[in-house]
A and B are shown apart, each in its own frame.
Chain A
Amino acid sequence: MSVLVYTESENGKFKKAALEVVSYAKAIADQMGTSVTAVAINADNAESLGHYGASKVLSITDDTLNSFNAKKHAAAVEHAAKNESANVVVLSSSADSKYLAPLLAVGLEAGYVSNVVEAPSSTSPFTVKRTAFTNKAFANTEIHTDVKIVGLSNNSFGVVESGGTATVEAFSPELPNSGVAIESVDKATDKVSIADAEIVVSGGRGLKGPENWGMVEELADVLGAATACSKPVSDLGWRPHSEHVGQTGKPVASNLYIAIGISGAIQHLAGINASKVKVVVNTDPEAPFFKAADYGVVGDAFEVVPTLIEKLKAFKAQNA
């Protein structure tokens, strides 16, 4: 019996979400009186997962796993879960983890619940709280199978250092052939992705045109943030679809979400509701976003945003 956790890394370095899922797995293991085994693939410093609660790390080194392949990665985790007789498998909510989770669920005959936001409220029956209706509600969901798969919503539990140590074992799972081969990858390496971002700066139709996005990008730059946009802006082609956040776009669960010139349609608010602190800048004090935000500035974005950039630069210089 144990809790198994799949940790993602990029170029050998663990992602922040990996440290969060290990912390979360540790909380479940404590509830169940068991320990955490992590699966790490082509990661350096596998033993560092001990700080976050892993007792053991199964470390896989395999060049064929350098780029993500859902079927192969799912098989690796499945093999590890079976070896460890894991009762619970924890994954993140990254695009890759959500891709492999259903394959793993069928392989392990495990019930899978995604978008979980808290440690289980009960381990018998195993009950977790997840978001549903695109963040408009939560569903307390029981998993009835012997093996359970929990997909943790990013940024919902946080990274918790528990200061333990982990033993590292080399692990070589058998991998299946995959019928999906990568031809090319187009990824901006100098930009923060919305999924990984702690801060997201988002623009709406209030910015009047794509030529005015310079200040949004500059604000994002100063904050180390990702840029996003509302649905009308992506439909108008001002910004790429990949930046569209909301009910039919990407969900956002950042620590800080800054909405500039976005009125706050119900579909938009649903998609960004999981963000912890929301700031809105809008000329219209009646914009629905003000009801959903923590902080608001009623004013012209073309004046407020440049001032905010200047003030933040001064703040960063002082606190550097």
Chain B
Amino acid sequence: MKILVCISHVPDTTSKINFTDGDTKFDTNGVQFVINPNDEFGLTRAMWFKEKQGASVTVVNVGGAETEPTLRKALAIGADAAIRVNVEATDGFAVAKQLSHVVKDGGFDLIIAGRESIDYNGGMVPGMLAAMIDANFVTNCIGLEIDGSNAKAVREIDGGKETVNTSLPLVIGGQKGLVEESDLRIPNMRGIMMARKKPLTVVEPTEANSETKAVSFEKPAPKGAVKLVDAQNIDELVNLLHNEAKVI
């Protein structure tokens, strides 16, 4: 089994979000970048397939050279090889298009991406990729078993979950549940040293137009001060929720 894990290079979850160039660009100043958490759950599951079922694991990112430390981290966690498609990730469609070429060229049969990145939250790359390469697709995936070319996946649905049977080639949109938080691996010194020697191949992009463009950003309006209600006067809270907020 040849697994491709798609890695987004995203601001750490604690990052303060600011914009620059007249609110047209994300301000990366002072921002720490990490593997997108939804992708990291998938990467960790891929490690399990590598160790228990002999799968090979390649990680891929579409982006500039600044994303390479994030790919090296994935190698340090245990991926065998990395690919960087050398083009700025402009929208979900363009990224999916680049990935579709990587999948075809590399002959990957299981592609694991996060259900969405925590920066742009588009949630479209895995599905678009699946449609482009005509693979099966399960998103919001919280459980995955592979047996030969058959797969059993658990998908979170609104208000519950469902178990589905499908087969390779398969694209997964993963999230927490694919592995537990406690299963995530922090790279150790040996992993970091080994990662330096693993191949990180830079491939030039194929032509792919963006379909959408974020033209400007804005931040939510600052919030008014909280209205405090005395713990001894909960009637007042009920009153405010009914008459002022009109939510009950």
A residues with CB within 8 A of B: 68, 70-71, 94-96, 98-103, 105-107, 110-115, 127, 131-145, 179-188, 191-196, 198-199, 223, 235, 241-242, 244, 247-249, 255-256, 266-267, 270, 273, 276-277, 279-280, 290-300, 303-304, 307-308, 311-312, 315, 319
Chain A residues, CB < 8 A from B108:
none
Count B interface residues, CB 8 Å. 79
Q: In whole Å, how far is B120's beta carbon from the nearest beta carbon of chain A?
A: 5
The CA of A188 and the CA of B158, in the complex, are separated in Å by: 10
How many inter-chain residue pairs (CB < 8 Å) link A and B? 254
Chain A residues, CB < 8 A from B160:
185-188, 193, 242
Q: In whole Å, how far is B11's beta carbon from the nearest beta carbon of chain A?
A: 8
The CA of A255 and the CA of B165, in the complex, are separated in Å by: 37
Chain A residues, CB < 8 A from B130:
102-103
The CA of A198 and the CA of B224, in the complex, are separated in Å by: 22
Chain B residues, CB < 8 A from A311:
234-235, 237-238
Q: In whole Å, how far is A144's beta carbon from the nearest beta carbon of chain B?
A: 6
The CA of A94 and the CA of B177, in the complex, are separated in Å by: 19
The CA of A135 and the CA of B231, in the complex, are separated in Å by: 30
Q: In whole Å, how far is B111's beta carbon from the nearest beta carbon of chain A?
A: 14
Binary A-proximity of B72-91 (CB < 8 A = 1, otherwise 0): 00000000000000000001
For residue A112, which residue of chain B has the nearest CB?
A: B124
Chain B residues, CB < 8 A from A182:
162-164
Q: In whole Å, how far is B130's beta carbon from the nearest beta carbon of chain A?
A: 7
A296/B121 contact (C-beta < 8 A), A103-B137, A183-B164, A279-B241 known: no
A180/B159 contact (C-beta < 8 A), A105-B124, A134-B121, A144-B212 known: no
Beta-carbon contacts under 8 Å, B85-143 to A: 91-93, 96, 118-128, 130-132, 136-140, 142
Chain A residues, CB < 8 A from B235:
311
Contact B13 A266 (CB under 8 A): yes
Known contacts A102-B130, A103-B130, A182-B163; can you find 8 more A-B pairs with CB under 8 A?
Answer: A94-B158, A106-B128, A140-B216, A248-B13, A248-B175, A266-B14, A267-B13, A311-B234
Dominant secondary structure at the B interface: mixed
A/B interface sample: 21 pairs, CB < 8 A: A70-B137, A99-B139, A101-B124, A102-B123, A102-B125, A102-B126, A103-B137, A111-B91, A111-B93, A115-B121, A131-B121, A133-B11, A133-B120, A137-B19, A180-B138, A180-B164, A247-B13, A266-B14, A279-B241, A290-B226, A296-B227
For residue A224, which residue of chain B has the nearest CB?
A: B248
The CA of A242 and the CA of B143, in the complex, are separated in Å by: 13
The CA of A68 and the CA of B128, in the complex, are separated in Å by: 18
Contact B159 A188 (CB under 8 A): yes
